[in-house]
Amino acid sequence: EAGVAQSPRYKIIEKRQSVAFWCNPISGHATLYWYQQILGQGPKLLIQFQNNGVVDDSQLPKDRFSAERLKGVDSTLKIQPAKLEDSAVYLCASSPTSGGVTDTQYFGPGTRLTVL
């Protein structure tokens, strides 16, 4: 079974530029998560989708971050404009059902963003 795919793996941009990350979850997984992992910290949930609807985006900085999950499959996360403090690894995860937090989350390898 293929895992969660993310691209690009690395991205370097200057502050105030825009950037987009792509995630392809495990086939058939209903729930998709985007996490931000700052160096030396644990992942922090940015947004959770169930199929193509948003379940939780309370920690998404909506003035600069946006995310969508088209047709309940792939997802993109965008930052516009980027700030220095956005430098982090952006992790995508998926879980098989809509059964809630006890569903195992399968993480992708992440996209490492550096904002100069």
Partner 1 sequence: GENVEQHPSTLSVQEGDSAVIKCTYSDSASNYFPWYKQELGKGPQLIIDIRSNVGEKKDQRIAVTLNKTAKHFSLHITETQPEDSAVYFCAASIGQGAQKLVFGQGTRLTINP
Three-state SS string over 40-75 comes to: CCCCEEEEEEECCEEEECCCCCCCCEEEEEHHHCCE
- Shortest distance (Å) from residue 16 CB to partner 1: 29
Total chain residues near partner 1 (CB under 8 A): 21
Which of 1, 41, 63, 70 contacts partner 1 by CB under 8 A? 41
Please report, in angstroms and rounded to a whole number, the separation of the first and last CA atoms in the chain.
37
1, 106 contact by CB (below 8 A): no
Identify any residues that bridge with 94 across adjacent strands, giving them in sequence order. Answer: 32, 106
Which one of 7, 55, 87, 114 is in contact with partner 1 (CB under 8 A)? 55
Per CB under 8 A, 102 contacts partner 1: yes
Q: Is 114 in the site for partner 1 (CB under 8 A)?
A: no
Note the residues at the interface with partner 1 (CB under 8 A). Answer: 4, 40-45, 48, 55-56, 91, 93, 100-102, 104-105, 107-110
